[in-house]
Amino acid sequence: MAELRRDPIVGRWVIVETDRPNTPADYACETHTQKGGLCPFCYGNEGLTPTEIDSDRDLNTQANTPGWQVRVVPNKFPALKIEGGLDRKGLGVYDMSNGIGAHEVLVETPYHDKDLPDLMNEEIEKIISMCCRRSLDLVKDKRFKYILIFKNYGPAAGASLEHPHTQIIALPMVPKNAIEELKGAEAYFEFRERCIFCDMIRQELEEKERIIAQNAHFLAFCPFVSRFPFEIWIMPKQHRGYFSHLAPEEIPYLAAILKDTITRVKNVFGNLSYNFIVHSSPANGDTGNESYHWHIEFMPKLMRVAGFEWGSGFYLVPTPPELAAQYLREEKK
């Protein structure tokens, strides 16, 4: 008998196939190999990108020249523009505003073919520190209400450039799913005076069956109400509202668990496409962060999402998260 499971935060129901679950081999996921070619993110091609915003580079090297380890540049084709006023207006039943925001690209490494698992921990720490630094800089602009940090890796995940990169978008409004999560977490907090994510961590640590990896500060697990097979959440064990407020001593632990988790996924599925998104509290708002707990949601691209999911917001999950976690713990194909 399949199970219907309900997300305790946003109230979404998903269908989990428990009778005849898919094994990793049942997913015909596209692994990909790098095509190469002229790449604007490669070492030595700094002139091909817009002028860099920030970088982590060797002493005595100049901006927009080699010598960097992590580099942030404006997106050449930004979805949002930094200059101008929001100019919110109505149009009959519709509401709109100018597309004000920032859209930056963080080039994770000078190497074209090194994804996170191929980097050393110290290199990943530099990426994480840079994400925090950019977030803290962007929230100084009071027009921005939310900083979205995400990664599309591989063609099936929507990456248009091969060279591993993370994107940072500053938005003038809070995206819909974030609002739902915030409201759901707030409702839970009002009733119980506890953070729902902290409760979730407690329950996961007790039940153990959905845990993939953990260290002193972070927990990686397959959520009970996954929307996608092998979906993974990485959460700080201590209650924290903002990703960008990561303490320096926590960063190595986050780098280690990220590397460990993605390595496990790739050992099971090969070089598959994936997305991850940092979910954090909104910026420049009046929401407190007692009830919200930042985390990373990692989604391997194993399936196509079909019409039923589009229309209903209902998801079909062919591998129960308990089984997915087991495969990832054991790195079994």
Q: Is 11 in the site for other proteins (CB under 8 A)?
A: yes
Q: Token pair of 104, please?
A: 């930056």
177 is a contact residue toward other proteins (CB under 8 A):
yes
What's the min distance (Å) between Cβ of 284 and other proteins?
Answer: 17
Instruction: Decide: is 196 part of the binding site for other proteins (CB under 8 A).
Output: yes
Instruction: Work out whether 285 is an interface residue with other proteins (CB under 8 A).
Output: no
* Beta carbon of residue 180, minimum distance to other proteins (angstroms, whole number): 8
Cα dihedral: 105, 111, 115, 119 (round 10): -110
Residue 302 in the binding site for other proteins (CB under 8 A) = no
Which of residues 122, 207, 330, 331 is near other proteins by CB under 8 A? 207
Helix (H, G, I), strand (E, B) or coil at 88: coil
Does the protein bind other proteins through residue 161 (CB under 8 A)? no
Query: Per CB under 8 A, does 82 bind other proteins?
Result: no
The distance of closest approach from Cβ of residue 206 to other proteins in the complex, given in angstroms and rounded to an integer, is 8
Output the smallest distance, CB 66 to other proteins, in A: 29
Among 26, 247, 312, 330, binds other proteins (CB under 8 A): 312
- Does position 304 bind other proteins by CB under 8 A? yes
Determine which residue in the list 35, 140, 142, 176 makes contact with other proteins, applying CB under 8 A.
176
Binding to other proteins (CB under 8 A): which residues in 22-81? 28, 77-81
| CA angle (165 as vertex; 317, 71 as ends), nearest 5 | 155
Buried b / exposed e across 118-156, counting CB within 10 Å, b at 16+? ebeeebbbbbbbbbbebbebbbeeeebbbbbbbbbbbeb
Residue of 54, 143, 314, 326 interacting with other proteins (CB under 8 A):
314
Q: Examine residue 157 and tell whether it contacts other proteins (CB under 8 A).
A: yes
Tell whether residue 173 is a contact of other proteins (CB under 8 A). yes
- Look-up: residue for tokens 């993370």? 166
Instruction: Verify binding: residue 150, other proteins, rule CB under 8 A.
Output: yes
Report yes or no: 51 and 290 within 8 Å, Cβ to Cβ: no
| Residue 27 · residue 303 · CB < 8 Å | yes
Site residue total, other proteins (CB under 8 A): 74
Q: With contact defined as beta carbons under 8 Å apart, do 130 and 54 qualify?
A: yes
Q: Is residue 166 helix, strand or coil?
A: strand
CB 295 within 8 A of CB 218: no
Neighbours of 109 (CB within 10 A): 25
Judged by CB under 8 A, the residue of 270, 308, 332, 333 near other proteins is 308
Question: Which range, of 112-120, 122-130, 198-206, 245-253, touches other proteins by CB under 8 A?
Answer: 198-206
Residue 325 burial class via C-beta count within 10 angstroms: exposed 0-12, middle 13-18, buried 19 and up: buried
Q: Which of 34, 61, 65, 203 binds other proteins (CB under 8 A)?
A: 203
Return the number of other C-beta atoms located less than 10 Å from residue 202's C-beta.
Answer: 12
Query: What burial letters (b/e) apply to 66-101, b meaning 16+ CB within 10 Å?
Result: eebbbbbbbbeebebebeeeeeeeeeeeeeeeeebb
* Of 59 and 306, CB closest to other proteins: 306
Residues 237-276 that bind other proteins (CB under 8 A): 274-275
User: From the CB of 151, what's the least distance to other proteins, in Å?
Assistant: 8
Q: Which of 116, 220, 257, 299 binds other proteins (CB under 8 A)?
A: 299
